[in-house]
């Protein structure tokens, strides 16, 4: 996270959004002492400031890494830390109009959509106290279970989008069809991860 890297991404490659992924487990934010948490928090702050200076959008990503850590498959594991983090960050940057808050990356394993909704209903109000910025909400099965979301979407919030992670070599046409169907039913989607 530095000006030269962001400047190259923006002005050489034409990128207008940067995703700042704050790892929660495996030595990340939620498993750190207060000093290390502050260190991680300040990196996110610096990234927001640099991106803003360069007229870029920023996605602040609460990056669960449940592929390796069973404790990190369900967003409820670190719900208190998430509420504290997003409360503080959204208060500090409440006047910025270029930040999107991605409140959970790739819930997986035995996690249910009801778990995700319970978590979202704790974190979203913490952000909404400070800003009406877009909030990005993941779903189960590595942020690909749009069917569960469509059956029981979050209610009572504006500026909510659901994330979709799409890897063409793995997902092929099945996930594209699911995404097309969700969009046709009016479900707002934002692809925060994709690759070939």
Q: Would you please indicate which residues are annotated as catalytic (active-site) residues?
A: 106, 193
Identify whether the C-beta of residue 106 lies closer than 8 Å to the C-beta of residue 149: no
Q: Give the helix, strand, coil percentages of the chain, each rounded to 5.
A: 50, 20, 35
Token look-up 């208190």 returns 80
Say which residue the tokens 């790739």 belong to: 106
Q: Is the dihedral of CA 168, 17, 38, 89 positive or negative?
A: negative
8 Å CB contact between 96 and 63: no
């Amino acid at each position: 996270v530095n000006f030269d890297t962001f400047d190259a991404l923006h002005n050489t490659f034409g990128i207008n959004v940067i995703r700042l992924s704050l790892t929660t487990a495996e030595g990340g934010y939620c498993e750190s002492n207060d000093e290390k948490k502050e260190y991680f928090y300040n990196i996110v702050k610096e990234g927001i400031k640099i991106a803003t200076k360069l007229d870029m959008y920023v996605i602040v990503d609460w990056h669960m890494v449940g592929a390796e850590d069973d404790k990190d498959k369900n967003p409820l594991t670190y719900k208190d830390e998430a509420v504290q983090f997003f409360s503080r960050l959204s208060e500090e940057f409440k006047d910025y109009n270029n930040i999107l808050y991605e409140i959970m990356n790739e819930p997986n394993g035995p996690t249910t959509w009801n778990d995700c909704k319970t978590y979202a209903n704790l974190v979203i109000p913490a952000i909404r106290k400070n800003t009406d910025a877009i909030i990005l909400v993941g779903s189960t099965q590595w942020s690909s279970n749009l069917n569960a979301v469509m059956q029981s979407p979050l209610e009572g919030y504006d500026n909510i989008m659901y994330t979709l992670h799409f890897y063409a070599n793995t997902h092929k046409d099945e996930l594209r069809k699911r995404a097309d169907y969700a969009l046709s039913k009016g479900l707002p989607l934002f692809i925060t991860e994709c690759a070939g």
